[in-house]
Amino acid sequence: EAGVAQSPRYKIIEKRQSVAFWCNPISGHATLYWYQQILGQGPKLLIQFQNNGVVDDSQLPKDRFSAERLKGVDSTLKIQPAKLEDSAVYLCASSSPSLRGKTEAFFGQGTRLTVV
Amino acid sequence: AQSVTQLDSQVPVFEEAPVELRCNYSSSVSVYLFWYVQYPNQGLQLLLKYLSGSTLVKGINGFEAEFNKSQTSFHLRKPSVHISDTAEYFCAVLTNAGKSTFGDGTTLTVKP
């Protein structure tokens, strides 16, 4: 079974530029998460999708971050414009819909973003 | 709201020694509990989970954890660690509504 795929693995941009990350979840997983992991901290949930609908985006800085999940499969997370404090690893995860709320999330390898 | 506190940010141990990584949580609703491991430049991998039933949970790589409801703790243990266990360990809670909260992690360093 293929895992969660993310790209790119690494990205370096200048502040005020824009950047996009892509995630392909495990086939059949209806729930998709984007987390931000700042160095030395645990993952912080940015947004959670159930199919193509947003379940929770309470911690997403909506003035600069946006995410979509067209057709309920792949997802993209965008930052525009980026700030220095956005430097972090962005993790995508997915989980099975049949045990919603009771199952673990499967994580991709993450995208390490450096804003200079 | 939920919160997770990992009481030790760094735990150095010698190879073949026992280890305990401590995790306390706070929540106004029932939660499910997880431990994940993260190797350098990798995503998180599930070690074990507590959903219900027996409070002692066994996971991969010889790890186990015990859920203590009265103390709101979910400490991770291994009786004998290996060099390859060196990694970052995260405790997490998940509500029935699907809201997840992670601790800030414990860096386990196993020395020869």
A46 has pLDDT over 70 = yes
- What residues contact residue B11 under an 8 Å CB cut-off, 6+ apart? B19, B21, B106, B107, B108, B109
Nearest to A5 by CA among A18, A20, A21: A21
Q: What is the mean pLDDT of chain A?
A: 91
Of A42, A101, A104, the CB nearest to B97: A101
The rounded distance, in Å, linking the Cα atoms of A57 and A78 is 14
Maximum distance among all Cα pairs of chain A, rounded to whole angstroms: 42
pLDDT in tens, A52-62: 899 999 999 99
Per-residue pLDDT of chain B (112 residues; tens, 9 = 90+): 889 999 999 999 999 999 999 999 999 888 899 999 999 888 899 999 998 888 999 999 999 999 999 999 999 999 999 999 999 999 999 888 778 899 999 999 999 9
Q: How far is B44 from chain A, CA to nearest CA, in Å?
A: 6
Q: Check residue A97 and give its pLDDT.
A: 56
Contacts of B4 in chain A (CB under 8 A): 42
Q: How far is A36 from chain B, CA to nearest CA, in Å?
A: 11
Q: Other C-beta atoms within 10 Å of A115: how many? A: 20
